[in-house]
């Protein structure tokens, strides 16, 4: 049996204001992808949606797949985009749409939990793991599953579900499953497996693959995610979860996601494509690469912090070697007088999320790389001023 | 302590096709509100929404309320519409938006469950209760709450949550809370408390009041509900639930709901309002009243079925006495050879939901009154043919 659940740090209030009256002007704690807004403003009317009053009223959708609330047009654009990027296999996989990949994660837990087990199935992930995993697994104290901490510390032969995030949130590495036991199932969270964040090194073909529109294009407010699911029974159970949880997913959001994703694919497939730097993945990869260059320069010229070192593998999408430019920087505080990096940066006016929330040391913080320019500039300035 | 959880009937597969290979052409089992589509087609462009590519991208909303993902425009239109109809007090209540009232129901359970109780809090509702309540309470086997059946059978002094649906799903009556114990909390589900279904007899001012856009206007596919919540701590916890469950609610859907609700209010408040029969509540009340007249005539001319008898109270909205025209007909089979009304109607080509799902006798079925004309016509024809 796995180890007893570790004591969870209190879930962070990621979307609330600072509760202790201090002014924390720069919030880089969440991954709110506002950086992409500039690109979508430049697209202007091309990717707008118009929804007449009578459209999309029914609970039901017209598609024939397992997921009865999936809009066929969105399914089409998902398949098209994965084919373009080459980051995931879709032929032979069912698609389940969700209100973001957070809901789909919970749907997958529900689907993979044995309904008649004597005790909850263990859910593990290799530290540092996404801080939301323990909070989301535990908030309802489900009898079906429970958080069992760091996958590397998991022992015994009890059934388990391992959650693998690739590129990893918070540190950006291209993780693979740590455990290889027969009684294990794996949920692959591929939220950041897009060309702007990482080289596309292989065409993912896992049992369950989660994606989110939020981190693909920056449209977090639309609340759309999708899962590619190999096993039909698992797809049915995930669909059932979403039926009981929210009776499906907004059609307005699905339509919007389809439109915007279609715009991206169109720009690559058009007979007369726009200049390469205006195509979405090239543009956003350039922005991410530029930000990481500035961050590394600032960190290297100072001595107070350090960053992970990444490989530069071949990217199947671009055909060239590409560095990793994750959505978050896993920053480590190297100063002797600053063991708690989150508090240290907060005293300098920057809110980040401390390592303990990710099962890691307090010397680490996760810093969003997706905020607006002025907030990113303040981060660079602060690092340089600290020295 | 309340009674042990009753044995639950298997949750119905409300949105799946018939699984045993039989052809069931007319599906009146769900409450898919497609009947309203005709009205919204007649409105044409007036209530369309246009969403540019750059809009609504952030997770966050700009409002100042407890619910950090609530779009201020939607909050405004909610308050405006409740003021127009007079069906619920809003001044002094917090508004929490959800992915339909199904999610908000779960958020309310989470918020009202004591986090440090030794055992799950009991959740009860007076039979016949909405078939989804037991399914939604139990699907995750939460340690926080559990289904404890019919409120009228609840005994003892253990804490409980009573769910009161008014007008009731499935039978349409204007229910009030059955239990009056100190240790009890109440969730009021007011999904159908709008003029097209019932007289507005009082301005509701309960602790937690749930509403859904689906049943107000027929836009089920948009997936929007809202809760009016008196206690700030409860509102915060409900917000927290939705944060962990789906990281908020689609902004596209919120915008659409605001637009359509605004159109309704505008038509009543305009300097030169449209003819009364073209205003939404008058139109839809007329349609519902006409359908109920036809249904009663058919049932009375045959002897196989019976319907509930409703009062005709004064409606504060119209200023006149108004009958009740619920979204569902609680039809009872009076024939000796048809104890299982669901099977009986299925053999005649109509899918309904049997009484057992609602904690009631199998002689009862719940039949949707919101389907398209041709489906409703088939129902009437079938009742008349049975005799």
pLDDT reported for residue A19: 44
Note which residues in 69-108 of chain A have CB less than 8 A from chain B.
69, 99-100, 102-103, 106
Q: With CB atoms and an 8 Å threshold, state whether A248 touches B51.
A: no
Same domain, A222 and A331: no
Last residue of a domain, one of A267, A297, A316: A267
Nearest CA in chain A to B261: A53
CA of A335 vs chain B CAs: smallest distance (Å): 34
Q: Does residue B361 sit within a domain?
A: yes
Q: What is the CATH number of the domain that holds A187?
A: 3.40.640.10
- Helix A280-301 to helix A251-269 angle (10° resolution) is 90
| CA-based nearest residue to B329, from B166, B196, B171 | B171
Q: Quick one: tokens of A140?
A: 């309802």
Last residue of a domain, one of B236, B267, B298: B267
Angle between helices B100-112 and A232-246 (to 10 degrees): 80
pLDDT tier at A20, thresholds 50, 70, 90: very low
pLDDT tens track for B344-372: 999 999 999 999 999 999 999 999 999 99
What contacts A292, CB < 8 A, 6 or more positions away? A323, A325, A329, A369
From the CA of A337, how many Å to the nearest CA of chain B?
Answer: 34
Please report which confidence band the pLDDT of residue A210 belongs to, taking 50, 70 and 90 as the band edges: very high
- B256–chain A nearest CA distance, Å: 8
Answer yes or no: is B288 within a domain. yes
Q: Tokens standing for B98?
A: 């959800």
Q: Which of B37, B52, B144 sits opposite A48 (nearest CB)?
A: B52
Task: Say whether both B205 and B323 belong to one domain.
Answer: no
Residue A140 to residue B142, Cβ atoms within 8 A: yes
Quick one: which of B183, B167, B177, B211 has its CA closest to B77? B211
B117 touches chain A (CB under 8 A): no
Q: Measure A80 CA to nearest chain B CA, in Å.
A: 20
- For an interface test with A, the pick among B34, B44, B141, B252 (most A C-beta atoms closer than 10 Å) comes out as B252
Judged by a CB distance cut-off of 8 A, whether residue B275 touches chain A is no
User: Which residues of A are less than 8 Å from B47 in CB distance?
Assistant: 53
Q: What are the chain A neighbours of B114 within 8 Å (beta carbons)? A: none
A345 and A239 in one domain? no
Q: Which of residues 35-74 of B touch A (CB under 8 A)?
A: 36-37, 40-41, 43-54, 56-60, 68-69
Structure tokens that stand for A198 in this block: 């990482």
Neighbours of B347 (CB within 10 A): 11
Q: Say yes or no to pLDDT of A138 above 50.
A: yes
Cα B225 from Cα B246, distance rounded (Å): 14
* Same-domain status, A288 and A257: no
Q: How far is A179 from chain B, CA to nearest CA, in Å?
A: 26
What is the rounded average pLDDT of the residues B159-167? 97
Q: How far is A220 from chain B (nearest CA, A)?
A: 5
pLDDT category at A46 given cuts 50, 70, 90 is confident
Q: Do A43 and B50 touch (CB under 8 A)?
A: no
B262 and B280, same domain (yes or no):
no
Is the domain of A80 the same as that of A163? yes
Domain count, chain B: 2
Share of chain B above pLDDT 70, in %: 93
On whether both A151 and A259 belong to a single domain, the answer is yes
Task: Tell me, yes or no, if A215 comes closer than 8 A to chain B by beta carbon.
Answer: no
Residue B335 maps to which CATH number? Answer: 3.90.1150.10
pLDDT in tens, B304-333: 999 999 999 999 999 999 989 999 999 999
Test B57 with A246 for CB contact under 8 angstroms: no
Residue A44 pLDDT greater than 70, yes or no: no
Listed residues B246, B267, B288: the one ending a domain: B267
- Verify whether the Cβ–Cβ distance B140 to A135 is below 8 Å: no
What are the residues whose beta carbons fall under 8 Å from the beta carbon of B85, sequence distance 6 or more?
A: B194, B195, B200, B281, B317
Range of the domain at A356: 26-42+276-386
Question: Taking CB atoms and an 8 Å limit, are A135 and B244 in contact across chains?
Answer: yes
Q: Do A57 and B33 touch (CB under 8 A)?
A: yes
A50:B49 CB<8 A? yes
Best of A13, A32, A44, A51 to substitute, by most chain B Cβ atoms within 10 angstroms, is A51
Interchain pair A57, B136: CB under 8 A: no
Cβ distance of B223 and A249 shorter than 8 Å = yes
A99, A267, A280, best to mutate vs chain B, most B CBs in 10 Å: A99
Residue B99: which of A16, A246, A251 has the nearest Cβ? Answer: A246
pLDDT digits (tens, 9 = 90+) for A241-266: 999 999 999 999 999 999 999 999 99
Say whether B33 and A220 touch across the interface (CB within 8 A): no
Residue with tokens 């905020």: A371
Q: Is residue B53 part of a domain?
A: no
Count residue pairs from A and B with Cβ separation < 8 A.
Answer: 217
pLDDT in tens, B58-100: 998 888 899 999 999 999 999 999 999 999 999 999 999 999 9
**Structure-block tokens of residue A218:** 């920056």
- Chain B partners within 8 Å of A219 (Cβ): 56-57
Q: Is residue B139 part of a domain?
A: yes
Answer yes or no: do B54 and A34 touch at CB < 8 A. Answer: no
Do B289 and B232 fall into the same domain? no
Q: Is A278 on the interface with B (CB under 8 A)?
A: no
Nearest CA to B94 out of B233, B298, B261 is that of: B233
Query: Are B140 and A139 a contacting pair at CB < 8 A?
Result: no
A144 occurs within a structural domain: yes
Mean pLDDT taken over chain A: 91
Q: Residue A120: what pLDDT? A: 97
Would you say residue B12 has pLDDT above 70? no
Judge whether residue A6 has pLDDT over 50: no
**pLDDT band at residue B18, thresholds of 50, 70 and 90?**
very low
Q: Is the pTM of this model over 0.90?
A: yes
Report yes or no on B238 lying in a domain: yes
Question: Could you say which residues from 338 to 377 on chain A have a Cβ atom under 8 Å away from some Cβ of chain B?
Answer: none
| pLDDT more than 70, % of chain A | 93
Both tokens of B285, joined, read: 């009340």
Query: Is the pLDDT score of B16 beyond 80?
Result: no
Q: Average of pLDDT values for B119-139?
A: 97
Contact call for B53 and A140, based on CB within 8 A: no
Chain B nearest-CA residue for A133: B244
Interface check for A12 against chain B (CB to CB < 8 A): the answer is no
B53 to chain A, minimum CA–CA distance in Å?
A: 5
Nearest by CB: B58 against A46, A221, A248: A221
The whole-angstrom separation of Cα A228 and Cα A208 is 6
Verify whether the Cβ–Cβ distance A256 to B51 is below 8 Å. Answer: yes
Q: How far is A33 from chain B (nearest CA, A)?
A: 7
Residues B214 and B85 in one domain: yes
- The pLDDT assigned to A24 comes to 63
Residue A176 lies in a domain: yes
Q: Are residues B285 and B216 in the same domain?
A: no
The dihedral formed by the CA atoms of B154, B231, A17 and A99, expressed in degrees to the nearest 10: 50
Across residues A204-211, what is the average pLDDT? 98
Q: Which residues of B fall within a CB distance of 8 Å from A103?
A: 245-246
Average pLDDT over residues B162-186: 94
Cβ distance A68 to B16 less than 8 Å, yes or no, reads yes
Kindly determine whether residue B223 and residue A248, on different chains, have CB atoms separated by under 8 Å: yes
User: Lowest mean pLDDT: which of B19-28, B122-131, B190-199?
Assistant: B19-28
- In chain A, what residues touch B15 (CB-CB under 8 Å)? 59-60, 68-69, 243, 248
Per-residue HEC secondary structure of chain B comes to CCCCCCCCCCCCCCCCCCCCCCCCCEECCCCCCHHHHHHHHHHHHHHCEEECCCCCCCCCCCCCCCCCCCCHHHHHHHHHHHHHHCCECCCCCEEEEECHHHHHHHHHHHHHCCCCCCCCEEEEECCCCCCHHHHHHHCCCECCEEEEEEHHHCCCCCCEEEEEECCCCCCCCCCCCCCCCCCEEEEEECCCCCCCCCCCCCCECCCEEEEEHHHHHCCHHHCCEEEEECCHHHHHHHHHHHHHHHCCCCHHHHHHHHHHHHHHHHHHHCCCCCCHHHCHHHHHHHHHHHHHHHHHHHHHHCCCEECCCCCCCECCCCCCECCCCCCEEEEEECCCCCCCHHHHHHHCCEECEEHHHHCCCCCEEEEECCCCHHHHHHHHHHHHHHC
In a domain, B155, yes or no: yes
Polymer length of chain B: 387
Looking at beta carbons, which residues of chain A come within 8 Å of B222?
56-57, 250-252
Cβ-nearest to A103 among B60, B246, B263: B246
Residue B372, CA distances (Å) to B284, B287, B309, B369, B377 in order: 13, 11, 25, 9, 9
* Chain B hits for A36, Cβ within 8 Å: 57
What is the pLDDT confidence band of residue B11, given thresholds at 50, 70 and 90? very low
Q: What is the pLDDT of residue B23?
A: 53
Rounded to whole angstroms, the Cα distance separating B174 from B192 reads 10
- The predicted pLDDT at position B45 comes to 65
**Same-domain status, A261 and A288:** no
Q: Provide φ and ψ at A161, rounded to 5°.
A: -120, 125
Do B140 and B237 share a domain, yes or no?
Answer: yes
Q: Which residue of B has its CA nearest to A13?
A: B240
CA distance A122 to chain B (A): 15
| Average of per-residue pLDDT values in chain B | 91
């Amino acid at each position: 049996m796995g180890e007893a659940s570790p004591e969870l740090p209190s879930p962070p209030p990621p979307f609330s204001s600072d509760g202790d009256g201090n002014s924390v002007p720069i919030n880089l704690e969440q991954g709110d992808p506002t950086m992409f807004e500039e690109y979508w403003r430049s697209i202007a009317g091309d990717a707008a949606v118009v929804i007449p009053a009578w459209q999309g009223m029914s609970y039901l959708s017209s598609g024939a797949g397992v997921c009865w609330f999936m809009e066929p047009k969105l399914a089409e654009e998902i398949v098209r985009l994965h084919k373009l990027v080459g980051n995931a296999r879709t032929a032979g996989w069912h698609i389940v749409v969700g209100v973001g990949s957070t809901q789909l994660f919970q749907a997958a837990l529900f689907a993979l939990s044995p309904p008649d087990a004597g005790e909850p199935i263990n859910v593990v992930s290799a530290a540092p793991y996404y801080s939301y995993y323990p909070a989301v697994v535990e908030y309802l104290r489900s009898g079906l599953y429970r958080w069992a901490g760091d996958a590397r510390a998991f022992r015994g032969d009890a059934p388990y579900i391992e959650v693998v995030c690739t590129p990893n949130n918070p540190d950006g590495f291209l993780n693979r499953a740590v455990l290889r036991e027969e009684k294990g199932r794996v949920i692959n969270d591929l939220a950041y497996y897009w060309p702007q964040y990482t080289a596309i090194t292989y065409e993912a073909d896992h049992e369950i693959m989660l994606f989110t529109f939020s981190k693909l294009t920056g449209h977090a407010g639309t609340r759309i995610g999708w899962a590619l699911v190999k096993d039909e029974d698992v797809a049915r159970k995930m669909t059932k979860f979403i039926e009981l949880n929210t009776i499906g997913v907004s059609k307005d959001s699905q339509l919007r996601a389809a439109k915007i994703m279609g715009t991206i694919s169109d720009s690559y497939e058009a007979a007369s494509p726009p200049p390469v730097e205006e195509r979405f993945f090239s543009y956003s990869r350039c922005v991410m690469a530029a930000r990481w260059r500035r961050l590394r320069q600032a960190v290297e010229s100072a001595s107070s912090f350090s960053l992970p070192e990444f490989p530069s593998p071949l990217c199947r999408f671009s055909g060239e070697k590409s560095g990793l430019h994750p959505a978050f920087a896993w920053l480590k505080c190297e100063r002797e007088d600053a063991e708690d990096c989150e508090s240290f940066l907060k005293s300098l006016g920057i809110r980040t999320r401390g390592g303990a929330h990710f099962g890691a040391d307090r010397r680490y913080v996760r810093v969003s790389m997706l905020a607006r320019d002025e907030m990113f500039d303040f981060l660079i300035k602060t690092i340089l001023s600290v020295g």
